[in-house]
Structures are given as C-alpha cells and as structure tokens.
C-alpha cells in the first residue's frame, strides 16, 4: 500500500472508530456524533467507509471546500439532507471553520428532535479548542465525542509492516508513508501539508496569537523534547524572541488543542502541587521529532530512548478512563508515568536504553504501596501497544493472584 491517500476508501483498512460510529448511528434516536482528532489520520476516510457500507442515505459537506462557510451554508446542507429522506445522516467536515456553527446546529437539531425529519448528524473537526467551546456552550446533552488519534504502532505495523525503529522514525501519519525513502520529500510533505496546515488554518485563523513567530518557535522546542520534563522558565529561555511564561503556556494549550502534544503534570495527591509542576512533553506522533531533528538524531541512544518513552506515553494517553502523570521527587528519583484508572494506580517504568537511575520506581512504591508496578520494554511494547488497557488489566490480575 505505497500510495495510501490515493487508494479509494473501501480499499483502505478501517480504523477502530468506524465500528463504534456505525453502532451509534444505528440507534433509533442517536445523539450528534462529534469526531475529533488531528488532520491526516483518517477521520474523513473512516466516515466515507461508513457511508459506502450503510444502506441509509448520507449527505456529506466540508467547510474546507468553501471560502465563506456561514450559518446560511449550514442551512443549505441541512435542506439538501432533508431532501434525501428522514433516514438521512448529515455529515459536516471541519465544522469549526464556520462562525457561530454551534448555535445554528443547536437550533436545527432541536427542530429535528421535534419533527423527526433527519436520522442523525456527524460533525468532524481538527481543533478541539474551538469545537469544545461550541459544544459545551450550546450543545450540552446533545452530543457524544469519538476521538481519533494518530496512528499507533500496532496499526502501523499491521498496515505498513513497520518495526519499532521505523515507527519511531516515521510513524503517525499514514499519508507520509510513501515518501519515507526520500527524506526531503517526506519532510516537505509533513511540514507543508500537515504541520503548516494545522498551524496556519486550524490555529492562527481561529485564535488570536500576538507573536506568530514565537508561536512557531515553541512548536520546534516541543518537538525536540519528547518525554522530557522541561520547566517553563527553560522553555522561555530557549526562545529567540522575548516571551512570557503565560504566553508559552497559552501556546502549548493551543498545540494540545490541535492534538499535536500532551503535557503531563507531576503526580501528587495535592492538586495545587500538580498545577505548579513543570510539564513533561509527550508528542502525539513520533514523526514530529524526526521532523525537528532529522532521522540521524535517533542514532543517539539517549534520544531514541526518550522517543520510545514518548511512544509509550502516546499509547497511555489514549486510555479515556485514565489520568496520566509523571512522578519525580528529585533528579535521582523518577517514574516515567503514573496512570490512575478505574480506582487503580499504575507506576509505569519504561526501559528504553537511556541512562537513568533505577531507584525511582522502588521509592515511589514505598511511598505508594497500593500502586501496581509495570515495566515496558521494546520486547513487550508490541503486546502493550496492541491494547494498552487489556495489557494493564492482565498484569493487574496477575499481581493480585
């Protein structure tokens, strides 16, 4: 499958969210289904696959395809969907680009609930910050969210035959796969077609950023520090232009909203101590590090170790029932990830090959004897990545016996 994006949707593998979406819209009175996730990971493709297999009619429209999408544009799409019959599903892609979209959708959906003239609605978006505001302010109780993450290791191995090294170098964006043997083309595609689209269209056109050049510098710094704990003061100190800690925090929040990074707080039972901690940077896609540092950077065992640790964090962050942290008591005592989920606390140490103290896990377990220790290595990572939740539950049961 060399030309992933050139293949028709029905010939592409289905991402797991498609089955979930299919079940939900098959209900007699479904809620609005909101599909959130980064660009270029298969959200639209998955919905197209669903449209091709369902017998009910669909009407699909994208705000990317119009220069001035507005309330009237949404009304036009609604009317076209109604003409196809009461069992129609209306799909609107990149909904966040439409001004006051949430209020318009609310009015139409409430009308639909009374008149039963449309079966379901699916909204897709690539900016959770803009979407979340509209959802919580106008559509409370009317929607469900399905999150579609970057491609993980298991999916990349299954479709493209990646081993761990290739995944850590190029993984995350299936459309870039065809260019891996030509790094310059791979870099250009990812930089221009993905990253610049996210920064330029999903963030800078939707949000006021006082210093766009500074904003882009923050992106480069975040890419270069996977799974590293970096103080906000240090981040500000690496910028070429002057910036404040508050500005940097805001910029990081915008990148998080675009699904590019997660920042983890330090684990502490006191929530105020968590908020005051330095963040641990977890890129949501390994390719972002290669984009910033180049593939030769992974010849350095320490850098490869950090990126492998970040890949573990990426998988853990997909567990919607859990909350993810790191733990550090001093420069010597650290646990890579602390996951609280379903009443359990998991202390997760990543054996990545980089040099670090071995005492942190024992110190944490002495302070938190109820915690369940988990060790992730390159050997058991494929099993872990195939289903992180099942992997952790299995170890939890074994340790209780």
Per-residue pLDDT of the chain in tens (401 residues, 90 and over written 9) = 445 656 677 677 889 999 999 999 999 999 999 999 999 999 999 999 999 999 999 999 998 877 666 889 999 999 999 999 999 999 999 888 888 899 999 999 998 877 778 999 999 988 766 777 788 888 999 999 999 999 999 999 999 999 999 999 999 999 999 999 999 999 999 999 999 999 988 888 878 888 898 999 999 999 999 999 999 988 888 887 677 888 899 999 999 989 999 999 999 877 666 667 899 999 999 999 999 999 999 999 999 999 999 999 999 999 988 899 999 987 789 999 999 998 999 999 999 866 666 789 999 999 999 999 999 999 999 999 999 999 998 887 776 65
The domain spans of the chain are 4-147, 153-400
Tokens matching residue 80: 């076209």
CA distances from 296 to 65, 161, 263, 326 (A): 39, 21, 26, 28
Helix ranges (DSSP H) in 238-286: 245-257, 271-275
Other CB atoms within 10 A of residue 180 CB: 16
Using an 8 Å Cβ cutoff, are 226 and 317 in contact?
Answer: no
- CA dihedral of residues 95, 99, 103, 107 (deg, nearest 10): -70
Look up the CATH number of domain 4-147.
Answer: 3.40.50.300
Other CB atoms within 10 A of residue 25 CB: 18
> Rounded to the nearest 5°, which phi and psi values hold at 252?
-65, -40
CA dist., res. 121 & res. 98, Å (int): 16
């Amino acid at each position: 499958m060399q030309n992933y994006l050139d293949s028709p949707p029905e010939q592409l593998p289905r991402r797991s969210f498609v089955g979930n979406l299919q079940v939900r819209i098959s209900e007699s009175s479904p809620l609005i289904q909101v599909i959130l996730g980064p660009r270029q990971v298969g959200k639209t493709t998955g919905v197209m696959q669903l449209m091709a297999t369902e017998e009910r009619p669909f009407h699909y429209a994208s705000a990317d395809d119009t220069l001035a999408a507005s309330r009237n544009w949404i009304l036009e799409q609604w009317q076209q969907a109604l003409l196809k019959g009461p069992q129609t599903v209306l799909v609107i892609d990149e909904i966040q680009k439409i001004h006051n979209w949430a209020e318009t959708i609310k009015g139409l959906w409430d009308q639909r609930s009374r008149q039963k003239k449309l079966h379901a609605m699916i909204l897709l978006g690539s900016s959770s910050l803009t979407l979340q505001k509209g959802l919580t302010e106008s559509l409370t109780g009317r929607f469900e969210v399905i999150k579609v993450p970057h491609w993980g290791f298991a999916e990349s191995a299954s479709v493209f035959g990646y081993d761990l090294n290739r995944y850590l170098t190029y993984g995350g964006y299936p459309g870039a796969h065809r260019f891996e043997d030509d790094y310059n083309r791979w870099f250009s595609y990812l930089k221009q077609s993905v990253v610049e689209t996210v920064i330029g269209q999903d963030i800078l056109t939707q949000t006021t950023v006082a210093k766009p050049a500074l904003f882009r510098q923050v992106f480069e710094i975040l890419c270069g520090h996977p799974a590293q704990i970096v103080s906000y003061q240090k981040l500000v100190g690496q910028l070429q232009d002057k910036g404040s800690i508050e500005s940097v925090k805001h910029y990081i929040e915008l990148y998080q909203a675009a699904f590019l990074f997660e920042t983890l707080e330090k684990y502490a039972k006191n929530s105020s101590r968590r908020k005051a901690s330095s963040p641990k940077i977890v890129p949501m896609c390994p390719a972002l590090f290669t984009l910033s540092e180049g593939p030769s950077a992974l010849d350095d065992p320490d850098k490869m170790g950090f990126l492998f640790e970040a890949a573990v964090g990426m998988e853990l962050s997909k567990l919607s029932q859990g909350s993810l942290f790191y733990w550090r008591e001093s420069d010597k005592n650290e646990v890579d990830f602390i996951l609280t989920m379903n009443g359990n606390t998991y202390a997760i140490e990543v054996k990545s090959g980089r040099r670090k103290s071995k005492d942190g896990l024992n110190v944490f377990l002495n302070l938190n004897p109820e915690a369940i220790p988990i060790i992730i290595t390159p050997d058991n990572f494929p099993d872990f990545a195939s289903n992180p939740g099942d992997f952790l539950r299995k170890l939890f049961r074994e340790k209780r016996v």
